[in-house]
Amino acid sequence: MHLFIKNMVCDRCIMAVDRVLRTEGLHPVSVRLGEAVVEEAELDRGALDRLDASLRDIGFERIDDRKTRLVESIKNTIIRLVHHSDEPPRHKYSELIASEVGMDYPYLSKLFSDMEGVTIEQFLLRQKTEKVKEYLGYDELTLSEIADRMGYSSVAHLSGQFRKLTGMTPSQFKGLARKDRAPIDRLD
């Protein structure tokens, strides 16, 4: 049985969902961002309700709706590309998303905007901005190295996007005593 799960954004989420599945007596074959495959062919309503409650207790949600699954798949693809890769993508994000999800990008873009209230591009920029904040907080890379790693054409481009979304330059953010970062699963 294939399960789709909302709000999975990191390796710890994968471990937590795997643990819930096992605690509920299921036998996971694989668990990835946004989805899990279990050996069981079907679950009765009671088992699904218990699974849903256990997932909700730790901040996750099982998804049944096809459109919601597509939106979650888009989010997981962006999160994986931005937060779990140290190299900039070799292709446009729109091409990577369409290829990963297996659907036409204009359809995905409209669906995402209709369901989330923001465009895919806005969601992507918010994710990239949070990753830049993370890099700035570590203080291990120069701004030029961050721009390169994040796929920006220049430091000026990175700085402009960062300022547009945060209201401050990367240097100003770096100088803050307390770095205001948001969990990536809470970004719109």
What amino acid is encoded at 89 in this protein? P
For 30-45, how does the pLDDT look when each residue is reduced to its tens digit (9 = 90+)? 999 999 999 999 999 9
Q: Of all helices (H) and strands (E), which one includes residue 62?
A: strand 61-63
Q: What is the pLDDT of residues 67-126, one digit of tens each?
A: 998 999 999 999 999 998 877 777 899 999 999 999 999 999 999 999 999 999 999 999
CATH architecture, range 66-188? Orthogonal Bundle (1.10)
22-31, 90-99, 175-184 — which one is most confidently predicted on average?
22-31
Query: Residue 106 has which token pair?
Result: 């204009």
Residue 62 main-chain phi, psi, to 5 deg: -75, 140
| pTM of the shown model | 0.74
Q: Are strands 2-6 and 35-38 parallel, antiparallel or unpaired?
A: antiparallel
Which residues of the chain are in CATH 1.10.10.60 domains? 66-188
Tell the CATH topology of 2-64.
Answer: Alpha-Beta Plaits (3.30.70)
Residues of the chain with CATH 3.30.70: 2-64
pLDDT given for residue 177 in this prediction: 56
Strand ranges of the sheet holding 28-32, from the earlier edge strand across to the other edge = 28-32, 35-38, 2-6, 61-63
The rounded distance, in Å, linking the Cα atoms of 37 and 28 is 6
